[in-house]
């Protein structure tokens, strides 16, 4: 299977969304919404997402350096952001786009079923999901960024 086919298979697009909304001072969308389950945010998700931001994988760090501060198509991305009861690697709330960087843990028994259920719930909430392996981010970053840009 070619690399181009692999990248195209990573793209899970279900719907298209309108242009991003107007912004407030500081860059947040004027109609920004809470994405996390408020009852779980302070008790668990906040600490866990903060820890994950402090200790990213090498691939997450590399991708973050490429998309932070609106470097990719002027789009704001957040990292290790809570959506419902989950923490996603990267998200553009304006474009309803989630980017996941999958390490070896995603190859373990039971993890594929968990990921499938998690992705289904996130899609039900209106998000599109693009997945990449650590290897793709570390060794083919230009292709990864092009795929993300085409998903916006």
What are the start-end ranges of the H helices in 71-133?
Answer: 111-124
Does a structural domain hold residue 120? Answer: yes
Write down the pTM of the prediction. Answer: 0.71
Does a structural domain hold residue 16? Answer: no
Domain holding 63: CATH number?
Answer: 3.40.960.10
pLDDT at 41 over 70: no
Worst-scoring range by mean pLDDT, 113-122, 130-139, 141-150?
113-122
* 50-101 pLDDT, tens digit each: 777 777 899 999 999 999 999 999 999 999 998 888 889 999 999 999 999 9
Alpha-carbon distances, residue 78 vs 5, 36, 83, 111, 141 (angstroms): 27, 13, 11, 24, 18
Q: What is the overall mean pLDDT for the chain?
A: 78
**Domains contained in the chain, number:** 1
Domain that holds residue 126: 33-151
Q: What is the CA radius of gyration of the chain?
A: 15
Nearest CA to 75 among 56, 51, 99, 58? 99
pLDDT on residue 31: 47
Burial of 2 (0-12, 13-18, 19+ CB in 10 A): exposed
Strands 86-92 and 128-133: unpaired
Does a structural domain hold residue 28? Answer: no
């Amino acid at each position: 299977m070619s690399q181009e086919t692999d990248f195209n298979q990573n793209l899970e697009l279900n719907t298209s969304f309108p242009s991003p909304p107007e912004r407030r001072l500081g860059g947040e969308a004027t109609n920004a919404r809470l994405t996390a389950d408020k009852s779980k945010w302070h008790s668990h998700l906040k600490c866990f997402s903060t820890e994950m931001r402090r200790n990213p994988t090498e691939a997450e760090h590399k991708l973050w350096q490429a998309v932070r501060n609106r470097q990719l198509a002027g789009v704001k991305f957040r990292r290790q952001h809570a959506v419902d009861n989950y923490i996603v690697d990267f998200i553009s709330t304006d474009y309803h786009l989630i980017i996941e960087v999958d390490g070896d843990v995603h190859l373990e028994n039971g993890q594929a079923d968990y990921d499938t259920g998690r992705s289904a719930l996130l899609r039900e909430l209106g998000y599109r999901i693009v997945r990449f392996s650590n290897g793709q981010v570390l060794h083919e970053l230009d292709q990864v960024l092009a795929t993300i840009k085409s998903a916006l």
